Amino acid sequence: MTVPKTSVLVLDSTEPEPLARFYATLLGATVEPAGGDPDLLFVTGRCGAFLGVRRDLGAAPPSWPRPEDSQQAHLHILVASDALDEAEREAVSLGARPVAAVPNGTLDRRTDLRRYTDPAGHSFVLTAAPPVTV
């Protein structure tokens, strides 16, 4: 029998409090201390932790979207397809910066996927949620 587990992606940041508040506001969640670690915050919602943000005084933002660098990791935030424009306005008003990815020299012009960096430089996308099948 497998022991029940859960996982959470943790982002490093020199200033975890404002970054955790950014994601909590964007995701309609709250910021909670992570128990015994004073340098770790969890962004939590009804279903538990969405994301962790950890203090790392040496953290440097990723250099993506430079063509020679990879994203290494990024968040996909799923949104109803008819709410993408509203979600984009909300993210930008909170401090997200739009990113124009240029794979192989051509712009990605899909409207169902929007690329950004958070205020600390981590990449994330807003993308249309897949249809739910019952």
pTM, rounded to two decimals = 0.74
- Number of independent structural domains in the chain: 2
Taking residues 97-101, what's their average pLDDT?
80
Q: What is the CATH number of the domain that holds 118?
A: 3.30.720.110
Structure tokens at 59: 């953290």
The C-alpha angle with vertex 10 and arms to 131 and 35, in degrees rounded to 5, equals 115
**103 phi and psi angles, rounded to 5 deg:** -75, 130
Q: What is the CATH number of the domain that holds 33?
A: 3.30.720
Domain of residue 73, residue span: 61-134
- Residue range 53-79, pLDDT digits in tens: 999 998 887 776 666 665 567 788 888
With pLDDT > 90 as the criterion, what percentage of the chain qualifies? Answer: 33
Tell whether 32 and 88 lie within a shared domain: no
Tell whether 69 and 134 lie within a shared domain: yes
